[in-house]
Amino acid sequence: MTGLLTSIQAALGLPHTPIAFTSSGALPSAFAVTDLACASIAAAGQAASEWLQQQTGRLPNLEVDRRLASFWFATSIRPVGWSVPPLWDAVAGDYATKDGWIRLHTNAPHHRAAAESVLGACADRADVASKVAQWAKSDLEQAVVDAGGCAAEMRSWAQWQTHPQGLAVNAEPLIQFRAGHPQQRKSWKGSVAQPLAGIKVLDLTRVLAGPIASRFLAGLGADVLRIDPPTWNEPGVVPEVTLGKRCARLDLHDKTDRAVFESLLKDADILLHGYRADALEKIGYGVAERQKLAPDLIDVCLNAYGWSGPWQNRRGFDSLVQMSSGIAEAGMQWKKSDKPTPLPVQALDHATGYLMAAAAITLLGRGGSARLSLARTAKLLIEHGAGTAEALRAEDENDQGLLVEQTPWGPAHRLQVPLKITGTPLQWAIPASELGSHRAQWW
């Protein structure tokens, strides 16, 4: 546990302060997933406590609950009388090829269309399986990627370490900080209870890692405005990740909407984005343009496969990175299974999200940028090795908070928060909401 935490603290430039971890047990996995959950949440909490010390002269104590951290790395919302839509598209998943395994990620309609442009129309999983079985895994991965889709063949960690992309990402730091325009000292509008009150966070991220980061920042009082394209939706995760945020839509190919976006950017303190490395460049919002529009901006971004190497612009998601980097193959050996065995939760997404939040908070007051990737977080987890085999005590009703969250889908509870910062309760003023349910403006 301490090895993971000290690695993360070093990457963030935080003091190697011991942090209290309560309860026991771990998620069943070939890797120390619960340790990663605790360490990443603790680091985000430590960044907040250091910020509070800068403002108040007092350093609050921190504590992380292992059980609750593990549960939050799956889901935090507990609907009352309704269900969150399924996370996965009907044909997303792992398939046997002629010479191994491949994972197809088809949750977004255009990603499914890309896979079907290669394989032909897919009626169901059995239909996909019969088509995939005729391919070699590397050929199919490349064909789907070339078509604009998302796929990853299963590789071992040893194979990933000799792959050009594995070599590239393994040479990158866990968090790549770059100094920026020093931020003008603003008067602190926060309080011990809400240390990030008055901080405007413009969130361009999707699905999990980035939204986990902005949810954490919102829980400390930041004003988070999430921007999505006109037709984007991710129904399986929206109730989980939109807690505490306002969600608007803008078309960044439309002149009027671009003007709105630029005015939002100029007023933002923090920008979070998770587009592929070249995507913002292509629509005229590359690094130079962003710095010109908002010189003081704290710019924190992530991608799937790292920021150097041949795959730096490749589409990817947590489950695909697990296949590429050797995690699913190691899980298969650990479980003595005959098929890929991923982590029990999407831990690369969640951990990278908390590291993004921690990076953003550490940059407050000094400015600059930070880059993270799911693949580099995977290296951190893999190299830490196995965790404890002790089981977690099962969840019960006492793990839920007392407040009822009134969402558009129905009432819900949230699990109690795994992080305790003395005097600073993580709390969210806005319930989860549908994407596009607010106006694209700061309060």
- Is the pLDDT at 79 greater than 70? The verdict is yes
Q: Could you give the angle at the alpha carbon of 354 between the alpha carbons of 352 and 360, nearest 5°?
A: 100
Residue 443's pLDDT is what?
Answer: 85
Q: What is the mean pLDDT of the chain?
A: 96
Residues 6+ apart with CB under 8 A from 234: 107, 206, 207, 435
Is 80 exceeded by the pLDDT of residue 184? no
pLDDT tens per residue, range 110-123: 999 999 999 999 98
Instruction: Map tokens 């803008």 to a residue.
Output: 250
- Whether residue 103 contacts residue 134, with contact meaning beta carbons closer than 8 Å, is answered with no
**What are the DSSP calls for 48-67, one per residue?**
HHHHHHHHHS----EEEEHH
What order of strands is seen across the sheet that includes strand 405-407?
A: 77-79, 410-414, 405-407
For 155, 183, 293, the CA distances from 161, given in Å and listed in that order, are: 10, 39, 39
**pLDDT tens-digit readout, 30-55:** 999 999 999 999 999 999 999 999 99
pTM of the predicted protein model: 0.98
The pLDDT confidence band at residue 183, using thresholds 50, 70 and 90, is low
What is the rounded CA–CA span in Å between residue 283 and residue 137?
33
Are the C-beta atoms of residues 152 and 92 closer than 8 Å to each other?
no
Query: Region 208-213: what's the mean pLDDT?
Result: 98
Architecture of domain 2-85+171-306+344-421: 3-Layer(aba) Sandwich (3.40)
At 292, phi and psi to the nearest 5? -70, -40
How would you classify the pairing of strands 270-273 and 298-303?
parallel
- Sequence length of the chain is 443
The answer to whether 387 touches 29, Cβ cutoff 8 Å, is yes
Q: Residue ranges of the alpha helices (H) in 176-274?
A: 209-219, 238-241, 255-267
Q: Tell me the pLDDT band of 255, cut-offs 50, 70 and 90.
A: very high
Per-residue pLDDT band at 187 (split at 50, 70, 90): confident
pLDDT for the residue numbered 153: 98
Rounded to the nearest 10°, the torsion over CA 378, 379, 383, 386 is: 10
- Residue pair 212/318 in contact (Cβ under 8 Å)? The answer is no
The amino acid present at 56, given as its one-letter code, is: T
Q: Which residues in 48-61 are b (16+ Cβ under 10 Å) and which e? A: bbbbbeeeeeeebe
Q: What mean pLDDT is predicted for residues 365-382?
A: 96
Question: Would the pLDDT of 87 be above 70?
Answer: yes
Greatest Cα pair distance in the chain = 65
* Percent of all residues in the chain with a pLDDT value above 90, rounded to a whole number: 95
The pLDDT value given to residue 293: 95
CA distance 342 to 355: 21
Q: pLDDT digit string (tens) for 264-316? A: 999 999 999 998 878 899 999 999 999 999 999 999 999 999 999 999 999 99
pLDDT of 2 over the 80 cut = no
In whole angstroms, give the CA distance from residue 193 to residue 413.
22
Lowest mean per-residue pLDDT among 261-265, 356-360, 366-370, 417-421 = 366-370
Q: How far is CA 353 from CA 88, 251, 381, in A?
A: 20, 25, 15
Residue type, 284: G
Q: Residue 1: what pLDDT?
A: 59
The sign of the torsion formed by the CA atoms of 397, 403, 405, 406 equals: positive
Query: Which residue reads 């999990």 in tokens?
Result: 208
For residue 195 the two structure tokens come to: 């240390």
**Two tokens, residue 263:** 């005015």
Which helix (H) or strand (E) segment is 158 a member of?
helix 157-162
SS3 384: helix
